[in-house]
Amino acid sequence: SDLQKQEERGELLQPLIFVLLVLCSVLLYFKVSLMDPGFVKPEEEEKEGEDKGQGVVIPQIPGDIKLRRCGYCLVKQPMRAKHCQLCQHCVRRYDHHCPWLENCVGERNHPLFIVYLSVQLLVLLWGGHVAWSGLYFEQSGEWLQHNIFLLVSFLLIFIFTVVVLLLLVSHLYLISCNTTTWEFMSHHHISYLRHSELEHPFDQGIILNLWRFFC
């Protein structure tokens, strides 16, 4: 049959990989949106001194800055945590609240969020290539009628590709500096950054920043 001949020629491999990438993207979306982004829980307060025993050195952070209790949920906030009024929780290493995920991006799901953006970008680039390759250009009145669906699809894919690409690049830059979107946007309003002599006081070099973030 035609299906068997296509399988023998390897023509079914690319569509199969594309479908698997789409499925992976959907699974990552639900995983990132449903998982705990790093909510600060009251029973974890006694663990606030554990980080001191892990040998993690934070340079140029003034020693007189003390942890404070959140005015909303009354838990003791670790450094780099922020209360999200939409989630009604304090989130460790808070980055931002994503309206598309209906969840915060924080300490626990930020790496998976980057993986999700990467897979989504690959799917969009592949889909854009398929849509573009299906277009054929002719100087006739029926050209638009025959190609309107592919043309609209390509334009939408192009717009989403630019958005996802810019989002991914900006996050990778911030990760390489060991900072978050919240810290980058609100630098002058955060006590431990406002009193720091360095623009990125948590920066320990690109390689170590990436290693600690993903591993």
Alpha carbon distance 150, 148 (integer Å): 6
Q: Are 33 and 102 in contact (CB under 8 A)?
A: yes
Q: Which residues are catalytic?
A: 98
By the 10 Å C-beta count (0-12 exposed, 13-18 middle, 19+ buried), 46 is classed as exposed
Distance (Å, whole) CA 67 – CA 191: 11
Count Cα neighbours of 47 within 13 Å in the Cβ-side half-sphere.
Answer: 6
Residue 184, CA distances (Å) to 48, 188, 211 in order: 24, 9, 20
| Placement of tokens 């639900």 in the chain | 30
Dist CA 10 CA 5 (whole Å): 9
